[in-house]
Amino acid sequence: MDLRIVATIGMALLFGVGLAFAAPVTSLPDPAHGKDLAGSLCSNCHLVGGGEQEHANADIPSFREIANQEAQTEGTIMAHIVLPKHPMPTIPLTKSELADLAAYIMSLRNPE
Ligand code: HEC
């Protein structure tokens, strides 16, 4: 086989493998995805965003209230989702979904 063809195929394979590995490395928490998850998984109980949602339970803190609790961080939010206090149910989530949700909730924190 012509050496140049071999080199071209080699480059194409390397490039493809490179792309396949690039995706997980760049997956930082994505608050926009967290917002989507919150809208489908959490909005039955929590007031999730700003205005668009009308019904939420008055006894359950809104995500804005949760974000603005003193000393709240992504870590404490994730802990409360993984080990919820009654009556909040345990919701099965992947690590990256948890991080996305926590990043979204913290994005509602007022600047100090
Ligand atoms: C069935 C209703 C219900 C659903 C669904 C629900 N929650 Fe909750 N959640 C609650 C209740 C009730 C509390 C308050 C528990 C307490 O502290 O007394 C709570 C508390 C929390 C807290 C802790 C607030 C604090 O005091 O720091 C976080 C964080 C939280 N929820 C996040 C979520 C997220 C994220 C989702 C969606 C993935 C979700 N919840 C879905 C009912 C719910």
What averages of pLDDT result for each successive group of 10 residues across the chain (112 residues)? 54 49 65 96 88 70 94 97 95 96 96 79
Q: 25: CA distance to ligand 1 center in Å?
A: 30
Q: What is the pLDDT of residue 51?
A: 58
Ligand 1 contact via 98 beta carbon (within 6 Å): no
Q: What is the pLDDT of residue 13?
A: 45
CA dist list (Å): 93 to 17, 37, 96, 102: 28, 10, 8, 12
Q: What is the pLDDT of residue 58?
A: 77
Ligand 1 contact via 87 beta carbon (within 6 Å): yes
Would you call 49 exposed, middle or buried from its count of C-beta atoms within 10 A (0-12, 13-18, 19+)?
middle
